[in-house]
Structure 1
Amino acid sequence: MSSLPPDTLWIRRFHPAPAAGERLVCFPHAGGSASFFLPVSTALSPGVEVLAVQYPGRQDRRAEPGIPSVPDLADRIAQALTGWDDKPLTFFGHSMGAAVAFEVARRMEAEGRGPVRLFASGRNAPSRPRDENVHLRDDAGLIAELRNLNGTDSSLLEDEELLAMILPATRSDYTAIETYRCAEETQVACPVTVLVGDDDPKTTLDDARAWKLHTTGPFDMRIFNGGHFYLSRRSAEVLAVLSEHVGMAGTAHRA
């Protein structure tokens, strides 16, 4: 048996599941943290071991500067996942996390250790960037954006002390995703499943469907009722989609 790397600043494992045959790696949205995926870990354990990525600049990493570049983030995360890939990995990324997961998948595939599937949630295809400049707004403008997306607890947005802690990391994340560019011919080999809300102000169904251009493997898309953070209100439905796939690769791996 190979020995696992210790839990690190980058990778969080809320429910260790040594008997699980597969791992689901979750990548947060801009301004998000690993703890956003605690309910997913709770729901899927112990059948699937869930790992959540913790970007720098938030929670226990708030003293670290953020990394305002998707490629640089992906480089660091791909390295941090070394040793966790002794079992099949499935990636799930929401919003910015979908682009980061895509770039991590590219890097790991180049090393022969790529994921068995990528779930890309609430994000345009990599070659369809949004023409946005939230990262250039003042603090009030950034807070207004967070309110509009309904993905941040409103009580946090009223607490000046907490805002002072979360805004630098959030701005760094928005810089990363709003300056990210990807050519249409850039692809991964793994299957891609896209999840999107039917009323998402950030991602049209056409822009979500364009993820099909970025895989040489199978592609499918699931549409949910809701906005950009549809997955918070449709968690049971999202978990059902995940459960259609996670666990299957682990069974094949053990066979």
Structure 2
Amino acid sequence: MTRTAVSSSLWTRQFHPRPEAPVRLFCFPHAGGSASFFHPLSAALADRMDVTCLQYPGRQDRLHEPCVDDMTELADRVLAEIEPSLDRPVLLFGHSMGATLAFEVALRMEYDLGIMPRTAFFSGRRAPSTPRRADAVDLADDEALLREIRGLSGTDARLLDDEDLRHMILPAIRGDYRAVQNYRLSERSTLRCPVQVLTGDSDPKTTLDEAKAWEQHTTGPSTVRVFRGDHFFLTKHQPDIIRLIAEAAEPDRI
């Protein structure tokens, strides 16, 4: 089957398109996040691969679209969008909620399309087999949701302090959190591709044991890399993370 390059759609952003590159990287943002979170990573890798960042509904230029608050539906719709571009080796990188979504997309690639990612990077997220029911946030309570977001330090405080902006971004955050809290692991829970797990040593959302549990979800090689930092450790360690992604894209890593 002949596939074309990634189309320009509401679901994808290519800040530095390289349609002729030998490898494609797909980036999946965290809850409440947007494609622009990965702009620096895209810029750093632009000379080596074609980077596509996912843009979920309900934020930025998709603000007036309803959020997709079901992980299964979200994964199905993302796969439908990126399938035309799966014509060469693919890397997946997901952070926090994005790691769970990247995992579900990888499962669909392998089981439904027979396409194995070259490597899947799961960052800032415990393995799907280690749920924490105690972590559930009262999604009906704006203040509870705001406390949760402030505690993770991943959203600009100025957005949360401005009442108008806060009302604009809370629906997307709430929808994403609902997708995460309602997510349940299906019977299809094991990949074949190599997995690299990235975690912060003081991340309140993921312990080292919970990060190591990702090895149960692939028959391929699994590596856990620990960085100094909290839930958004990756913003302080971009050079190291960029190096890991670049190394995984090398031809001898197939």
TM-score bucket (shorter structure): over 0.9
Q: Check whether the contact 2:118–2:249 (CA below 8 A) recurs between aligned residues.
A: no
Change (3 A) 1:31 1:135: farther
Pairwise CA RMSD? 1.7
Q: Match for 2:70: what amino acid?
A: S
Residue 21 of structure 2 corresponds to 20
1:138 to 138, 141, 162: 141
Distance verdict in 2 for CA 1:184–1:234, change over 3 Å:
farther
Structure 2: how far apart are the matches of 1:185 and 1:76? 18
Given that residues 58 and 166 in structure 1 are in contact (C-alpha distance below 8 angstroms), is that contact kept between their aligned partners in structure 2?
A: yes
Q: Which amino acid aligns with 2:25?
A: L
- Partner Cα separation in structure 2 for residue 174 and residue 35 of structure 1: 19
Moved runs in structure 1, 4+ residues, more than 6 A?
A: none
- Structure 2 unpaired stretches of 5+: none
Query: CA separation of 1:123/1:155 partners in 2, compared to 1, >3 Å: closer, same or farther?
Result: same
Residue 46 of structure 1, CA deviation: 2.1
Matched, 1:119 2:121: yes
Residue 165 of structure 2 corresponds to residue 162 of structure 1: yes
2:198 alignment partner in structure 1: 195
Question: Does residue 211 of the first structure (1) align with residue 204 of the second (2)?
Answer: no
**Is the 8 Å Cα contact of residues 89 and 115 (structure 1) preserved in structure 2?**
yes
Aligned length: 251
Distance 1:135 1:75, change over 3 A: farther
Percent of aligned pairs with the same residue? 50
Report the alpha carbon displacement of residue 248 of structure 1 after superposing the two structures with TM. Answer: 3.0
Q: Take 1:151 and 1:45, find their aligned partners in 2: how far apart are those partners?
A: 24
Paired residues of 2:5 and 2:19 also in contact (CA < 8 A)? no
2:229 is equivalent to residue 229 of structure 1: no
Give TM-score, length-normalised by structure 2. Answer: 0.94
Q: Deviations over 1:4-48 (max 9, x none)?
A: 242111111111113311011000000000010000100000211
Instruction: Write the letter of the residue equivalent to 1:193.
Output: Q
Contact residue 135 and residue 175 of structure 1 kept, 8 A: no
TM-score for the superposition, normalised by structure 1: 0.94
Match of 1:129 in 2: 131
Q: State how far apart, in whole Å, the 2-side matches of 1:180 and 1:120 are.
A: 16
Partners of 1:127 and 1:183 within 8 A in 2:
no
